[in-house]
Amino acid sequence: MIRHTYSLTLVLAVAALAACDSAVPQASDRGAVLPSIAPRSQIAALAAPAPDEAAAEVPACEDWVQTEDTWDGVTGAFHSVWQCESEGVVQRSITDGVQNADGSGSFTRSFEVDGVVIEVWSFNFTTSADGLTQTYDATSDQGGTYQGSYVYAEDGSSTVHEVWTLAEGTYLIDGAYDAEGNFTGTTRFDDPATEASPDYVVQDSRLDDGGLRQEVNSQGDGFTSHYIADFSADGVTHYTFETDDGSSAVNPDWVGEYTWDISGAGSGGYTQSFDDGSLLAVSDTFGGDGSTDES
């Protein structure tokens, strides 16, 4: 049987609103657990944790390329390197580990920025007798912890449950990957330093054309916000939102809608409501060259 192994969801940077495809499953006829590390960043600012504050300062990087991939069928040792360059900054993820005959094993994953190691994760894993369930636990040298389980189906799909506990809070991820590596599910984040719990919830689903929809509910510091972002397969992005300031009587205070095409050109606007009944209507037009015209 060919078992599909999926990358663990650990991203290297927190960026502005963006959408990227999930890491494509890596098929292997070797039976080895080889988590890739083409990082998945569905809403980069919300959907998955950054390793630490230092990593959050590096530019977002989407074009990860595997530059090394070795496997020793006798010892079970494996090694892989993924690399990505953005704005002149080179990021690398280096994995070294060993899988035992019973499907258990361990590996370390180091994250580098311009040759400097910023974080190291140490993983242990087990595999069920039928090869369809894998469980992971890990710790970071920055104090983070991780627990995850993957249950694979014969058609290449899988269900996933992950808990990341990091300096900024806890991420709880539940969902499924289809055979093409597309994720559908829910990400919840809770910051123990805030009264809100959870601070936000992200729901990922697929559009009819194969694109991605993300629905987000967030709260904190006297406001609540709800938005839906549709990332169509043809590169068009449609974004609607409502935000409420808890200190005002009107609810919601802001309502808006925007659309961009694949070139970055687009238009839209929002309306702000005030307690005295007045309204402020704002219209924006965006050029593919980055220009903005607002009225």
Q: Name 187's bridge partners.
A: 173, 202
Residue 286 lies in a domain: yes
Residue 284 lies in a domain: yes
Q: What is the mean pLDDT of residues 263-272?
A: 91
What's the pLDDT at 292?
86
Q: How confident is the model at residue 203 (pLDDT cuts 50, 70, 90)?
A: very high
Residue 234 lies in a domain: yes
DSSP code of 131?
S
CA distances from 117 to 35, 52, 183, 283 (A): 19, 12, 29, 45
Distance from chain centroid for Cα 23: 10
Q: Tens digit of pLDDT for each residue in 50-94? A: 444 444 467 777 788 889 989 898 999 999 998 888 888 898 889
What's the pLDDT at 2?
28
pLDDT at 131 over 50: yes
Enter the pTM of the model.
0.75
DSSP code of 54?
H
Residue 219 lies in a domain: yes
Q: How confident is the model at residue 274 (pLDDT cuts 50, 70, 90)?
A: very high
* CA dist., res. 64 & res. 209, Å (int): 25
Q: What is the mean pLDDT of residues 174-180?
A: 90
| Residues counted in the chain | 295
What's the pLDDT at 57?
64
Residue 18 lies in a domain: no
Q: Tens digit of pLDDT for each residue in 180-194? A: 888 899 999 999 999
Residue 256 lies in a domain: yes
How many domains would you assign to the chain? 1
pLDDT at 21 over 60: no
- Give the contacts of 94 (CB within 8 A, at least 6 positions apart): 80, 81, 109, 110, 112
* CA dist., res. 252 & res. 248, Å (int): 9
% of the chain exceeding 70 in pLDDT? 81
- Give the contacts of 208 (CB within 8 A, at least 6 positions apart): none
DSSP strand pairing (65-71 vs 77-86) = antiparallel
Buried b / exposed e over 168-207, threshold 16 CB at 10 Å, is bbbbbbebebbeebbbebebbbbeeeeeeebbbbbbbeee
- Its domain, for residue 288, covers 194-295
What's the pLDDT at 135?
92
pLDDT at 5 over 70: no
pLDDT at 26 over 50: no
Q: What is the mean pLDDT of residues 148-169?
A: 89
- Give the contacts of 116 (CB within 8 A, at least 6 positions apart): none
Q: What is the mean pLDDT of residues 12-23?
A: 27
Residue 248 lies in a domain: yes
Encoded tokens for 252:
């919601």
What's the pLDDT at 44?
30
Residue 221 lies in a domain: yes
